[in-house]
Amino acid sequence: MTFVVTENCIKCKYMDCIEPCPVDCFYEGPEILVIDPDECIDCSVCVTTCPVNAIYQDTKLPEDQAVFLEINRKFSAIWPNAVQKCEALPDRDKWAEVAEKRQFLLEAQTCAAAAK
């Protein structure tokens, strides 16, 4: 089993979830964090630290979020490992309650890219 970051994270990316992760299985994309399902040890510490309730156990994913298991798998293989919390997206509070944000999945920079 693994945990999955879902649509609620898009355009928020608070990053509170990465600090308690004991295995550094989070990866940072432009608009969202993802979890490498092969690295996740199913400990659930990230779930309670996510301020937008974006993380679910794969077996409890809402049906409309099931595609995010594959999104997490695909992008964790190509995005940089997120081991240190950096600043969340500037409009995160505005986007926290917005539904259906998938069209924004790849728009902005990662922290690592912005630092260059």
Q: With contact defined as beta carbons under 8 Å apart, do 55 and 4 qualify?
A: yes
Q: Which residue segments constitute the domains of the chain, with CATH numbers given?
A: 3-115 (3.30.70.20)
Instruction: Tell me how far apart the alpha carbons of residues 32 and 28 are, in angstroms, rounded to a whole number.
Output: 6
Query: What's the pLDDT at 97?
Result: 84
Q: Quick one: tokens of 99? A: 């539904």
pTM score, two decimals?
Answer: 0.87
Higher pLDDT, 114 or 89: 89
24-82: per-residue pLDDT in tens?
Answer: 999 999 889 999 999 999 999 999 999 999 999 999 999 999 999 999 999 999 999 99
CA dihedral (80, 84, 54, 44) positive or negative? positive
CA angle 42, 108, 78 (to 5 degrees): 45
Query: Model confidence at 115, in pLDDT bands (50, 70, 90)?
Result: very low
Q: With contact defined as beta carbons under 8 Å apart, do 35 and 23 qualify?
A: no
